[in-house]
A and B are shown apart, each in its own frame.
Chain A
Amino acid sequence: AQSVAQPEDQVNVAEGNPLTVKCTYSVSGNPYLFWYVQYPNRGLQFLLKYITGDNLVKGSYGFEAEFNKSQTSFHLKKPSALVSDSALYFCAVRDFSSGYSTLTFGKGTMLLVSP
């Protein structure tokens, strides 16, 4: 089965500094990878996806993610963090093990941006 791992429970960064939230994946075949964000007391919102093409994917709210096949990673990045970026971030992978397409999520990484 496909899986993703988010090695950090929490990432702390100062406002204005670059941020990285890490994700590694394990798949058979070509990976379809996603990032979602969850603000407090809300459902998850789609940020960006990698299906094929350029290794650098741009998404919502100034976020981007870098796909690295050799390192099996799909790290989320932003050049300059905002306090409002503080949220729970989930990496996800498309899973075909059941015969249908579902999404398997990582455990999530809490991003805290300090003023």
Chain B
Amino acid sequence: NAGVTQTPKFQVLKTGQSMTLQCAQDMNHEYMSWYRQDPGMGLRLIHYSVGAGITDQGEVPNGYNVSRSTTEDFPLRLLSAAPSQTSVYFCASKGQAATNEKLFFGSGTQLSVL
């Protein structure tokens, strides 16, 4: 059981480039989400999904796209990277049971946009 796997661990982009951050989980979790972590800001929710084919925006969705074609995968796309998107990105998942609020986090992707 690998849990939540994020790739890559590190990435440097130039302004305007696009890229996709990958996230996969092998726990058959229905709920998946993306957070960004910035100093002094804590974690802020970008997008989330409650099942295949269903996605919704979080607190800071601008500049990011997501899709959920399978239960296992939830990629995060940066369409045109900006320096303001320099951050550490975390993917997290959990089961959908009403009382199951324990989020499982990946180890993060550190992104720098120059």
B71 at interface (Cβ–Cβ under 8 A)?
Answer: no
B25 at interface (Cβ–Cβ under 8 A)?
Answer: no
| A7 vs chain B, min Cβ distance (A) | 13
Contact at B101–A44, with CB atoms within 8 Å?
Answer: no
- A102 with B45: in contact, given A43-B90, A44-B90, A107-B40 (CB under 8 Å)? yes
State the majority secondary structure of interface residues on B.
strand
Contact of B48 among A102, A105, A108 (CB under 8 A): A102
The interface on chain B, measured as residues whose beta carbon lies within 8 A of the other chain's beta carbons, has a size of 26
Query: How many contacting A-B pairs (Cβ < 8 A)?
Result: 57
| A45 vs chain B, min Cβ distance (A) | 7
The docked-state distance in angstroms from the alpha carbon of A102 to that of B43 is: 12
Which residues between 38 and 92 of chain B lie within 8 Å of chain A, taking CB atoms? 40-45, 48, 50, 56, 58-59, 90, 92
Nearest-CB residue, chain B, relative to A108:
B42
| Chain A interfacial positions (CB closer than 8 Å to B) | 9, 32, 34, 36, 41-46, 49, 51, 90, 94, 98, 100-108
Q: Which 6 A-B pairs have the closest CB atoms?
A: A43-B105, A107-B42, A105-B43, A44-B105, A46-B102, A105-B42
| Chain B interfacial positions (CB closer than 8 Å to A) | 4, 31, 33, 35, 40-45, 48, 50, 56, 58-59, 90, 92, 99, 101-108
Q: 8 A-B pairs, CB-CB below 8 angstroms?
A: A36-B103, A43-B92, A43-B108, A44-B103, A44-B105, A46-B103, A94-B101, A98-B58
